Amino acid sequence: MIGVGISMAKRIRIKTGIDGVDELIEGGMPEYSQVLLAGGPGSGKTLMCFEYLYKSAHNGDTAILFSFEEDTKNIVANAKDAFTEFTDIDELIESKKLIIYGSEMSRAYMSRGEEKPRFAFSEMLTQLESLVASSGALRIAIDSISVIKLFIRDAFEYRDLSVSLISMLKRLKVTSIITMEMATPEKSSLIFEPEFFIYDGLIVMYSTGGSESRTPAIEVIKMRGSAHSFATVPYEITSGGINLLVLAGRSNRSR
C-alpha cells in the first residue's frame, strides 16, 4: 500500500518552558501547534500562559498574551506576585519582547447593552492578526476562549469561529496556548467538548483527590505529532514557575 513506511520528518519543538511539561511531550509543542489548555478556576492557566510567554521572551522570541478576561495591569501584577524570581518582566515589556493586550482591547468588540449580547469576533480576529504580524511574535497565548462561548451560544457557530481562530494562528506561523475554563476541576467529571478535537493538543489541569486533600495535577490528553506521556502529574506553583512534581521517579525541581 502506498504510504506505508513513510516516516514523518522530525518536527521542531517549541518549549513551553514549564518545568516537567516539556518532558511529557517529547521536548515541547511541535512548531505551529495550537494547544488548548483546559482547567478549573484557579488551576493556574493564566500563570502557565504567562510563564510560557515570559520564558520565550527571556530567550529572545517575541511573545504576545491576548487576555479576554483581565486587564493588563492585573495580569502583570498577579504574575509578578506569583513568580518573584522572574525579575526582568518590566524590561521585557519595555523592550516589546513580551507584549500584553489585556481585556481593554477585546472589550471594545463586545457589547451587552443591545437586545442580545454581541461579539464582533471576525473584526477582532483581523486586529489580532495585524498585531501579531507587525510584532513578529512567534509565541502566542489566548486567555480564554471561554469568554467567546458566553457570547456565541450556537454550538456550530462557536465551532466555526474556533476553527477560524486556529486557521489564522496557523497562517501566522505561531505556536500558541489557548485556555478554556472547565466547569469543574475534577478529573472524574471531565467532559470532552466537541471543539477539543479541532486543536492540535489538549492539556488539562485538574484537582484530584477528595474534598479533604486536593492535589492539582496536569495531564496531556492529546499532542499531534508526539508520543506523549499519559501520566497525570501533580504540580505546584512556585516563585520560580510552575513545577511538575514527580516524573519518572525524579523531582523536576532540579534544572
114 CB-near residues (< 8 Å, 6+ apart)? none
Q: Nearest residue by C-beta to Mg ion? A: 46
How many CA atoms, within 13 angstroms, populate the side-chain half-sphere of residue 227? 2
- Integer Cα distance of 189 and 199 in angstroms: 21
3-state SS of 182-228?
CCCCEHHHCCCCHHHHHCCEEEEEEEECCCCCCEEEEEEEEECCCCC
Shortest distance (Å) from residue 249 CB to ligand ADP: 25
Please choose, out of 38-46, 121-129, 134-142, 187-195, the segment that lies near ligand ADP by the rule CB under 6 A. Answer: 38-46
Q: Which is nearer to ligand ADP, 42 or 117 (CB)?
A: 42
Please choose, out of 3-11, 41-49, 162-170, 196-204, the segment that lies near ligand ADP by the rule CB under 6 A. Answer: 41-49
- Spatial contact of 217 and 229, defined as CB atoms under 8 Å apart: no
42 sits near ligand ADP (criterion: CB under 6 A):
yes
Q: Is 32 left (phi over 0), alpha (psi -120 to 50) or beta?
A: left
Single out the residue of 17, 28, 44, 185 in contact with ligand ADP (rule: CB under 6 A).
Answer: 44
Torsion of CA 182, 184, 189, 192, to 10 degrees: -10
- Integer Cα distance of 193 and 212 in angstroms: 28
- Spatial contact of 244 and 218, defined as CB atoms under 8 Å apart: yes
# residues near ligand ADP by CB under 6 A: 11
Q: How far is CA 155 from CA 80, 138, 174, 177, in A?
A: 37, 30, 26, 22
47 sits near ligand ADP (criterion: CB under 6 A):
yes
Q: Which is nearer to ligand ADP, 65 or 82 (CB)?
A: 82
Show the site string, 54-93: x = touches ligand ADP by CB under 6 A, - = not.
Answer: ---------------------------xx-----------
List residues binding Mg ion (CB under 5 A): 46
Shortest distance (Å) from residue 231 CB to ligand ADP: 21
Q: Which is nearer to ligand ADP, 51 or 200 (CB)?
A: 51
Within residues 181-240, the interface with ligand ADP by CB under 6 A covers: 237
41 sits near ligand ADP (criterion: CB under 6 A):
yes
Q: Which is nearer to ligand ADP, 57 or 82 (CB)?
A: 82
Binding site for ligand ADP (CB under 6 A): 39, 41-47, 81-82, 237
